[in-house]
Structure 1
Amino acid sequence: MIQLKDLTKKFDTGKTVLTAVDNVNLSIDDGEIFGIIGYSGAGKSTLIRLLNGLEKPSSGTVDVNGQKITAIKGADLRKARQKVSMIFQHFNLLWSRTVQENIEFPLEIAGVPKAKRESRVKELVELVGLAGRENAYPSQLSGGQKQRVGIARSLANDPEVLLCDEATSALDPETTDAILDLLVDINKRLGLTIVLITHEMHVIRKICHRVAVMEGGKVVELGDVLTIFRSPKKDITKRFVAQVTETEDSTATIKHLRELYPTGELVKLIFVGEQTEQPILTKLIRNYPVEVNIVQGDISHTQRGAYGTLILQLKGSKQEIADAILFLKQEKVQTEVMAND
């Protein structure tokens, strides 16, 4: 388990004191994929560097599996860092070394004999899907392959925690999804705790169990990913959720439909978990005398279950529409009447 208690990091710029991390308290469970999301300057990169001792806090403590990272130094800190590994946005590979040599590098530093190094590299190359590319140099690899090398290298010393610093930000969407799938597979196979920082809600939605939202150095919202998607509380969290639940096209469609059907109501429904599989719309159409037009729909899958949004246009009398909306709420579907602009 990772525990952060009253963690604060300040930087003295000479003219002023900048608080990058402001009294953060978090607990991250063993085997969890935990996301930290925030825009540039939120403090998330500083926070992740505090986790492995690359930065020392101004106050507070970092405890990783019973060991206080903030209280050790020298050889003990270097040993502890072997159990808290890290992958980076820009891969940080050694360009004069092959794939095999890059993966071997931390084992060399740790003094592992050559035969054991080669055996370990073979396992890791298979794990990350790079069999046959052992003798290639980074310049001969795609972005996704480079990140796979980075992941394999980070696993060389059998870490207990893997930190991912914007690990997919430099990749195209398809490659990003492949790398995220690999991280989920590694998490399940090895039981590895993964802490991932990002500014992309798609990444959080796809692989994280829980998420902390950072703004101005503080954790402003924390919870299960599915719960955060269903009912974000802070404005910044709502903006992040909107990254993957709303599009410009839907906004234009809503405006167009309001012009076409000025007497109807546009209603946004949110389905969570088992609700996404229930025939709720069928019941609505059969039992209520309203005209139902589907404007837009989407179902996304998180590690905790499915999350779906649906925008309907309901036409009928005010009472008929009110009865239909009441039915939806009674079915425990989160229902929002979209106000006319």
Structure 2
Amino acid sequence: MISLKNVSKKFSTKQGTIVAVDDVNLDIKKGEIFGIIGYSGAGKSTMIRLLNGLEKPTSGQIIVNNKEITSINEEKLRQVRQKVSMIFQHFNLLWSRTVAENISFPLEIAGISKVERFARVKELLELVGLDGRGDYYPSQLSGGQKQRVGIARALANRPEVLLCDEATSALDPETTDSILDLLVSINEKLGLTIVLITHEMQVIQKICNRVAVMENGLVVEEGDVLEVFQNPQQAITKRFVSQVSETNQAKQTIQNLGELYPNGKLIKLVFVGDQTEQPILSRLIKQFDLEVNIVQGNISHTKSGAYGTLILQLDGDAKAIDEGIRFIHEQKVNTEVINND
């Protein structure tokens, strides 16, 4: 659906040349929810403007739905943009227009008849959960409702790609979850390809199939969300994963484990997918006659499956402990010995 080949974007300033996107290669599949995550200045906002043709790359190729948008003329680019819609952090609604008129606006521009516009707006209001609010003005809506209007408006012309630029950053956690659930529903019902720009790993965790991590204009890591959670490679990726996989209390506990649990062995287990549902601990206790103390645990759910960490204190015969750890390895659970007593 979307392919970037050696794409770079440079800006000339009085202070010199800024490389916002640096030789990026990405392939985004049709119908998936793809996340691009990075901190401020990483280049992700420039990236999303490249995807809809608002910015031209300095070098490289961008292909959207089999059309290379880096070399086509303005007329053909406008045709491509009709199938690539966007929602924004601050909604960008027309405050003097009603909800229905906001949603209808792109249909008016496209020359759609009034009867067709009315029917499409009604359909979209139901889709985004705003049925009965067509005559409201944006000032009468909550933040989440405003974003639902933005989503409905973006869907008016039946796009094939939806770009989301920090679409939940201005919302509280509960509202964020409801908007993310709506995006998943739209993705499943319409088969829409969604590209989501964010600095929040919780957003990636909840709805994305795959993720690219950006830093200083570079894509430093990419993969299935579950795999990235399981085995982050780069320091920045580990920071993002720790946002949802470890609490501050857990980090402090890990730092002081030697003092808190001086006996036996402390081990850290990483469970992925179906492993989180296996009765490994009960089998460990029964088969090896060990005392097993759960020191700390956490399970995070991604769109592709669950990811969990568990820290255990194993106490008992030294040989039985070693056999128990070997048993856990055989269950294909990543295991790290934190201390050796």
Q: CA deviation at 1:256?
A: 5.8
Give structure 1 stretches of 5+ with no counterpart: none
Distance 2:134 2:151 in 1: 14
SS at 2:169 equivalent: coil
Match of 1:40 in 2: 40
* Aligned position for 1:81: 81
Q: In 1, Cα distance between the equivalents of 2:25 and 2:256? A: 46
Cα–Cα, structure 1 residues 339 and 41, in superposed 2: closer, same or farther, change >3 Å?
farther
Percent of aligned pairs sharing the same letter = 70
1:158 — aligned with what?
158
CA contact (8 A) 2:32 2:192 kept: yes
1:23 and 1:219 map into 2 onto residues whose CA distance is 9
Partner of 1:199: 199
Judge conservation of contact 2:30–2:193 (CA < 8 Å) in 1: yes
Secondary structure of the corresponding residue to residue 102 of structure 2? helix
Residue 26 of structure 2 corresponds to residue 63 of structure 1: no
- The number of residue pairs the alignment matches comes to 340
- Structure 2 residue 50 is the aligned partner of structure 1 residue 50: yes
Structure 2 gaps, min length 5: none
Which is worse superposed, 77-86 or 159-168? 77-86
- Give the SS at the match of 1:266: strand
Corresponding residue for 1:294?
294
1-side partners of 2:339 and 2:114: how far apart? Answer: 67
Contact 1:84 1:160 in 2 (8 A): yes
TM-score, scaled to structure 1: 0.96
User: Over aligned residue pairs, what C-alpha RMSD do you find?
Assistant: 1.4
* Offset of residue 68 of structure 1: 1.2
Partners of 2:86 and 2:164 within 8 A in 1:
yes
Shift of residue 266 of structure 1? Answer: 2.5
TM-score (norm 2): 0.96
Output the CA distance in 1 between the equivalents of 2:269 and 2:192: 36
Matched, 1:23 2:3: no
Relative to 1, partners in 2 of residues 1:73 and 1:338: Cα closer, same or farther, differing over 3 Å?
farther
* 1: CA distance, partners of 2:258 / 2:315: 12
The alpha carbon displacement at 1:301 in A equals 2.1
Query: Does the aligned pair in 1 maintain the 2:31–2:193 contact within 8 Å?
Result: yes
Find the counterpart in structure 1 of residue 184 from structure 2: 184
Give the drift of 1:317. 4.5
Change (3 A) 1:254 1:60: closer
Contact 1:290 1:314 in 2 (8 A): yes
Structure 1 residues 91 and 339, CA gap change in structure 2 (3 angstroms)? farther
Worse overlay, 178-187 or 255-264: 255-264
Deviation at 1:15, TM superposition (A): 2.4
Aligned to 2:145: 145
TM-fit CA distance, 1:274: 1.3
Deviations 1:286-339 (A, max 9, x none): 112322111222222222122222121222354333222221111111112235
**Paired residue type of 2:80:** A
Contact persistence 1:254–1:295 (CA under 8 A):
no
Find the residue that maps to 1:169 and give its secondary structure.
coil
Residue type at the aligned position of 2:93 = L
Q: 2:214 corresponds to which residue? A: 214
Deviations 1:164-201 (A, max 9, x none): 00111111111111100000000000000000011111
For residue 129 of structure 1, what is the aligned residue in structure 2? 129
Q: 176-185 or 249-258: which moved more?
A: 249-258
Change beyond 3 A, Cα 1:93–1:314: same
Which whole-Å deviations, capped at 9, do the CAs of 1:269-298 have from their partners, x for residues lacking one?
Answer: 111111111111111011123221112222
**Structure 2 counterpart of 1:118:** 118
3-state SS in 2 of match to 1:263: coil
Hey, what's the Cα distance between the residues in 1 that align with 2:338 and 2:168?
A: 35
Q: Distance in 2 between matches of 1:276 and 1:304?
A: 13
Question: What is the CA distance between 1:143 and its match in structure 2?
Answer: 0.6
* 3-state DSSP of counterpart to 2:184: helix
Asked if structure 1 preserves the Cα contact closer than 8 Å seen for 2:267 and 2:339, the reply is: no
Distance 1:339 1:39 in 2: 34
Instruction: Provide the rounded CA distance (Å) in 2 between the counterparts of 1:179 and 1:112.
Output: 28
8 Å contact from structure 1 (residues 180, 207) kept in 2: yes
